[in-house]
Amino acid sequence: MAQGSAAPAFIRAALVASIWSPLAAVSGPDDQDIPYTVAEGAASIDPTGDVIAGSADRFSRMTVPVTIEGKGPFRFMIDTGSQATAISRRLSEQLGLPSLGHATVVGMASRKRVQLVRLDGLELASRMFDNLHAPLLEAEHMGADGIIGLDSLQGLRVMIDFRADSISVDDARALGGNRGYEIVVRARKRLGRLIIADAQIDGVRTALVIDTGSQGSIGNLALQRKLRAAKGVEVTSTDVTGSEIVGRLDVPRTLQIGRTSGRNLMLKGLAISYADAPAFAALSLNDTPAMVLGVEDLRLFDRVAIDFAKRTVLFDLPKDARTGFADVSARVSRRL
């Protein structure tokens, strides 16, 4: 085993789970906030194997079973936007995890100090992780027993198969390599997460974060200003501390991904909520047009893979969109 160490109504339902939460690694006056995201919702698991069936609820996320020092399985959500692996207060108390002090959680709407614990013996995908510094979060805000963050995903590939409602975590070869993916886009790393620089929204170059822990898509105010986006209906989302933030909904004409890579993908009718979220600043993206692409909009694809080892994001288009163009406006109007 490898060792590792450390709204209208639709939007409210979808974005209530869209939470950005940077975390300081250790307590003390010299702490530095490290951005990561968590979300809430419900999902069902099968305790056998590493390919886990997701919930039929379209607003919930898919989780994987993990064991901690041989106990479990427990239900943890895979979150490609989360800097750190987190655990619920309830489960931490049940396991008697030792305290490491406190950390600052920067949520979508707030900053809050939370307790930090040491997590050893976390087993996922036949790998064992020790000495993880995990923040304590409330289970009702996560919708799971915990979160698998980027500190446990480096060197691995996360593959979501929306046709089968399943999620897999393993190395790229074990998950079939690049076979069957029409579009492969390179990304750059920032604080462990992959950010796609080759993306444009209505011609505006935009830093794009693929976030499996966020339900809806969220843009920062720099993107809103650059697009001169209309200040549409109010959208309320709740962060990991239970605090709320209000954004404004708008629907740009197109989102284009991979324009310079030879084969590009274009989405039309994507609903974006714009909000002044502290997490964009924590990622040094406050003054740069940026957006989080959440799971609900990723469902447009048959499969999406986030490969941390090769710094690529892979998209498998549905048969009716093999031209690289997809119109999601009908789905948006149904939600509204």
Percent of the chain with pLDDT over 70: 74
Give 274: exposed, middle or buried? Use CB within 10 Å, 0-12, 13-18, 19+: buried
Percent of the chain with pLDDT over 90: 38
pLDDT bin (cut points 50, 70, 90) of residue 261 is low
Mean pLDDT of all residues in 263-267: 79
What is the domain partition of the chain in residue ranges?
3-152, 182-335
Fold matches, 3-152 and 182-335? yes
What is the predicted pLDDT for the residue at 164?
87
Strand partners, 159: 168, 305
pLDDT above 60: residue 323: no
* Fold (CATH) for 3-152: Cathepsin D, subunit A; domain 1 (2.40.70)
What is the predicted pLDDT for the residue at 61?
56
* Fold (CATH) for 182-335: Cathepsin D, subunit A; domain 1 (2.40.70)
pLDDT bin (cut points 50, 70, 90) of residue 245 is confident
Residue 236 amino acid letter = T
Give 323: exposed, middle or buried? Use CB within 10 Å, 0-12, 13-18, 19+: exposed
Mean pLDDT of all residues in 179-203: 89
E strand map for 71-143: 71-78, 86-88, 99-106, 111-119, 122-124, 127-129, 132-137
Mean pLDDT of all residues in 286-314: 91
Evaluated on CA atoms 54, 58, 60, 61, the torsion sign reads positive
pLDDT bin (cut points 50, 70, 90) of residue 326 is low
213-222, 236-245, 294-303: least confident range: 236-245
What does each C-alpha distance from 106 to 43, 51, 88, 208, 237 come to in angstroms? 25, 31, 17, 20, 14
Q: Return the closest-CA partner of residue 103 out of 120, 84, 121, 122.
A: 84
